[in-house]
Amino acid sequence: MIPELGIVGTPVIDPTSGTIYLIAVTKEPGNQFVYRLHSIDVSTGVEQSGSPVEIQAPGFVPLAQKQRAALLLTGGIIYSPWSGHCDNGTYHGFIMAHDAASLKPVGVFNATPTDSGASFWNGGAGPAADSEGNIFAVSANGDFDGNLGAARFDESVLRLAPAPQLSVADLFTPFNRVSLDVDDLDLGSSGALLLPDEVGSPAHPQVLFVSGKEGRLYLLDRQSLGGAQVNSDFGALASLPAPGSNKTFGMAAYFNGSIYIAPANSAMFAFKVSGASLASSPWAVTTDTHVSPGATPSISSNAATNGIVWVISNDDAGKLLAYDAASLKLLYDSNAQPADLFTSGYTEFMVPTITDGKVYAAGVYGVTVYGELAPNTPAISAVTNAASFAPEAISPGSLISLFGSHLAPATSQASAVPLPLSLVDTSVTINGVVAPLLFVSAQQINAQVPYEVPAGTVTVVVRSGGKTSAAFTIKIRPAGPGLFANAEGQAAALDDDGSSNSSTAPAPGGSIISVFLTGIGPISSPVDDGAAPPENATISATLPVSATIGGVPAAVEFAGLAPLYPGIAQINLRIPATASGVSPLVINVGGVTSNTVQLIISTN
């Protein structure tokens, strides 16, 4: 396995905390080899508190082990699978568990405590977890001395209880386990693919798929894997030879009722799966083949439509291929034209990563990035406050709207917080700082001004599909209040009973009303760009805030960030007792006056 030192297994990222977890091995003085688990801030590259920790466990000999397969993060636990270092020496199939917050060890499973082998290498694929936290892992050969009992967990699909138990709750071992060991036809050359419940049946509601070096396709009941088989695989829902019975490495993929698998020295196949049953023959086959070790497919789509199957093949010194998921017709070959040649260098078990309109291929020498180039250069015509659409009301942390042409290749919006820094291969920078994005389209982008952008004259730039707009100059003010309202000018406001202020739900005079805006200026505690305020935190505006309703001063009970969403501020006002009917509301923050919106006050 190359490299022999460094980071070999695929890391895992926690998007909520912005932490990447990885395991690295180093050779140190005294000819000592040490594995360490690291937790690193993805935005800064800085080790988190308590990181790294040395990997240790009973029977664990670093020189004999290799951390090859991908890490798994589930339930706040990091699970790391372990194999042998090229089958040298006495090694074990470990799965270790560490707490993601503290990195303290919280569990360990050894597949061969009184023997050796039964490793978890899986062609780079990692273990899988279901919604209850059960861990599914596939072990390789382990009976090297004829002691079948000592190596009873080799050549098996295992269901392990979550840490700290990490004990075998169920397993499936093929009937021909001994011949798989003898002939080095590891079942554990691939990972377990947990399929969605939609392909199950009332009798077998949850199923998984796996295939190994023998080239056999297995469909198993996740709730009752079947146990150790004798004479035949009677306990499997399906045990079928793949066309050509070619070896499988890595992982299959699932999309729209089909399993896609690309064995070594073979075409790629698509098999239908439904009702807890696997079709005995493929419904689609590629016209080309892939040399050893085959490929692990990745699939991109627009929900259930426009599916594309991507693979990285070892053919022609490495190339990226794309197929129509509906037919397996070849759509793209990176070696078809010189400008697209795969330059990062092929290495075993490469898996394409598809995100934000790009395909990433990490190889021996670097990362090659593929993506559709924008046909037109983006152009900015205006930048305004996202609530008031006033170009002069922009401040750090506020939400803004950019208008122009060719700003993005498609319409997309953020689906979670923290807000992404890129959508459909489109990003915005303000004075060189990347701005979190709420929404992008060809003619409009909604974004948040990073808090670290200082007041003064700055430039805004849009990058889309590899093309960059001309810099657009705007002025950032310490505060730029913009009140949200509908098309009729009705304020986005909540009455004191929680109902939306309207003609059918007017606010009583003297009551408290909450109005929503952006651009409130400096705040009492820092908040990350694109993030909502921390839960249960009260973060206040630091500049003076005042308001009038119907021209009469209204007492400000609170002014600060609203919960749950980035860039939104909230001001709680006591409505003057004399106010009634449709009343104009104006806010002033730090001497800057907002737009005017309407409140509906009940008449006495």
Give the residue extent of every domain in the chain. Answer: 379-476, 482-601
Residue 469, pLDDT score: 96
Task: Report whether pLDDT(147) > 70.
Answer: no
Give the residue carrying structure tokens 């594995």: 35
Task: Report whether pLDDT(3) > 80.
Answer: no
How large is the average pLDDT for residues 57-61? 94
Residue 16, pLDDT score: 87
Residue 146, pLDDT score: 58
User: What number of other Cβ atoms are within 10 A of residue 553's Cβ?
Assistant: 11
Strand partners, 583: 599
DSSP annotation string for 341-355: ---S---TT---EEE
Q: Which range in 3-7, 241-245, 416-420, 491-495 is most confidently predicted, on average pLDDT?
A: 491-495
Residue 604, pLDDT score: 65
How large is the average pLDDT for residues 529-552? 94
User: What number of other Cβ atoms are within 10 A of residue 137's Cβ?
Assistant: 28
How large is the average pLDDT for residues 119-127? 95
Residue 194, pLDDT score: 98
Query: What is the end-to-end Cα distance of the chain in Å, rounded?
Result: 81
Q: Nearest 5°: phi and psi at 107?
A: 175, 155
Task: Report whether pLDDT(366) > 90.
Answer: no
Q: In this predicted model, which residue has the larger pLDDT, 72 or 245?
A: 72
Q: Per residue in 382-437, pLDDT tens?
A: 999 999 999 999 999 999 999 999 999 889 999 889 999 999 889 999 999 999 99
Task: Report whether pLDDT(513) > 50.
Answer: yes
Sequence-distant (≥ 6) Cβ neighbours of residue 206 within 8 angstroms: 130, 194, 195, 197, 200, 221, 222, 223
How large is the average pLDDT for residues 336-343? 86
Whether the Cβ atoms of residue 425 and residue 409 lie closer than 8 Å to each other: yes
Task: Report whether pLDDT(356) > 90.
Answer: no
- pLDDT tier, 535 (very low <50, low <70, confident <90, very high otherwise): confident
| CATH for the stretch 482-601 | 2.60.40.10
Whether the Cβ atoms of residue 172 and residue 229 lie closer than 8 Å to each other: yes
Q: Nearest 5°: phi and psi at 178?
A: -65, -45
Residue 1, pLDDT score: 45
How large is the average pLDDT for residues 557-575? 96
User: What number of other Cβ atoms are within 10 A of residue 568's Cβ?
Assistant: 22
Give the residue carrying structure tokens 């082990």: 65
- Average pLDDT of the chain is 93
Q: How far apart are CA 70 and CA 92, in angstroms?
A: 17
Task: Report whether pLDDT(198) > 70.
Answer: yes
Sequence-distant (≥ 6) Cβ neighbours of residue 252 within 8 angstroms: 190, 193, 209, 211, 259, 260, 261, 296, 297
Class of domain 379-476: mainly beta
Residue 339, pLDDT score: 84
Residue 429, pLDDT score: 97
Domains 379-476 and 482-601 share a fold: yes
Residue 375, pLDDT score: 77
Percentage of the chain with pLDDT > 70?
Answer: 98
Whether the Cβ atoms of residue 505 and residue 414 lie closer than 8 Å to each other: no
Residue 296, pLDDT score: 96
Q: Is the dihedral of CA 473, 478, 484, 489 positive or negative?
A: negative
Structure tokens, 215:
């080239």
DSSP secondary structure code for residue 70 in this structure = P
Q: Per residue in 311-327, pLDDT tens?
A: 999 999 899 999 999 99
Q: How far apart are CA 535 and CA 569, in angstroms?
A: 15
Residue 336, pLDDT score: 86
Amino acid at residue number 129: A
Residue 89, pLDDT score: 78
Q: How far apart are CA 379 and CA 553, in angstroms?
A: 43
Q: How far apart are CA 419 and CA 292, in angstroms?
A: 41
Task: Report whether pLDDT(371) > 90.
Answer: no
Q: How far apart are CA 154 and CA 87, in angstroms?
A: 14
* H-assigned helices in 147-239: 177-182
User: What number of other Cβ atoms are within 10 A of residue 100's Cβ?
Assistant: 20
How large is the average pLDDT for residues 113-130? 93
Residues in the chain: 604
* H-assigned helices in 349-464: none
Q: In this predicted model, which residue has the larger pLDDT, 31 or 132?
A: 132
Task: Report whether pLDDT(367) > 50.
Answer: yes
